[in-house]
């Protein structure tokens, strides 16, 4: 992949994950569960996970967040295997993904600001705000590039990396003393997301200057 590769979720890992979840996909198909229903349930679970983070139930929030990562892949698998892919389904899935990204960091910011003895609570909350903005920009940069006919999947930290990056250490270590572990995770993901935005802008700049296309904006 030109312009940088995801740090955690490689193509081989994705293939192994899809093979593991295939029995679940087949069960959902047998039960007649529609892809958009799975999408809606997954988004609701992520919002609930964000509430858990905000209440200080960090390990519960992290476990639920990891579970929603599994649910998040099932709608696409069911849609492809049953021929239920649609433009609205793709739009709906992407829209709820953005809601989910924002909810997670909002929940963590609420935890930083409402829990006593937190390490640099205001800085942590500001990092969450920047993380929300940068995660939206990561997705928008790809969507805008694809609207111009360009493929733009470059970057170190994409949605899967953000999800695993928050959930895994939070599940194993909790927030850490004075929430320093959670603070460090948020800071790293924020920086990584900002770098991903820059990678995508640079990538699109290079591609469009090699082969200009699309209207100026």
Q: Which pLDDT band holds residue 155 (cuts at 50, 70, 90)?
A: confident
The mean pLDDT value for 9-18 works out to 64
Domain residue limits, the chain: 11-210
Tell whether the model's pLDDT for residue 102 goes beyond 80: yes
Q: Which pLDDT band holds residue 2 (cuts at 50, 70, 90)?
A: very low
**Topology of the domain comprising 11-210:** 1.20.120
Quote the mean pLDDT of the chain: 85
Spatial contact of 35 and 89, defined as CB atoms under 8 Å apart: yes
pLDDT in tens, 45-101: 999 999 999 999 999 999 999 998 888 888 888 888 888 888 888 888 888 888 888
Q: Which pLDDT band holds residue 23 (cuts at 50, 70, 90)?
A: confident
Report residue 79 CA to chain centroid gap. 20
CA distance 32 to 98: 27
pTM for this prediction = 0.84
The more confidently predicted of residues 5 and 121 is: 121
Paired tokens of 8: 């955690």
Q: Which pLDDT band holds residue 14 (cuts at 50, 70, 90)?
A: low
Lowest-confidence region among 47-51, 70-74, 109-113, 162-166: 70-74
**DSSP 8-class letter at 77:** H
Q: Which pLDDT band holds residue 170 (cuts at 50, 70, 90)?
A: very high
- Count Cβ atoms below 10 Å from residue 169 Cβ, excluding itself: 18
**DSSP 8-class letter at 57:** -
Main-chain phi, psi angles of 206, to 5 degrees:
-65, -45
> What is the reported pLDDT for 15?
66
């Amino acid at each position: 992949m030109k312009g940088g590769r995801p740090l955690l979720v490689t193509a081989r890992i994705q293939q192994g994950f899809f093979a593991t979840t295939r029995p679940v996909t087949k069960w959902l198909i047998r039960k007649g569960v529609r892809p958009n229903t799975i999408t809606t349930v997954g988004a609701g679970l992520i919002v609930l996970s964000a509430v858990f983070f905000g209440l200080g139930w960090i390990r519960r929030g992290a476990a639920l967040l990891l579970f929603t990562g599994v649910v998040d892949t099932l709608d696409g698998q069911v849609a492809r295997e049953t021929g239920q892919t649609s433009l609205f389904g793709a739009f709906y899935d992407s829209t709820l993904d953005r809601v989910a990204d924002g909810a997670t960091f909002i929940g963590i910011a609420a935890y930083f600001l409402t829990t006593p003895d937190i390490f640099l609570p205001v800085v942590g909350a500001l990092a969450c705000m920047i993380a929300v903005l940068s995660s939206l920009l990561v997705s928008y940069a790809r969507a805008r590039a694809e609207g111009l006919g360009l493929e733009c999947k470059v970057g170190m930290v994409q949605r899967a990396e953000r999800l695993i990056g928050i959930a895994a250490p939070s599940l194993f270590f909790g927030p850490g003393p004075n929430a320093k572990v959670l603070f460090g995770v948020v800071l790293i993901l924020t920086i990584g997301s900002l770098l991903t935005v820059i990678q995508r802008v640079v990538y699109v700049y290079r591609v469009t200057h090699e082969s200009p296309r699309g209207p100026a904006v």
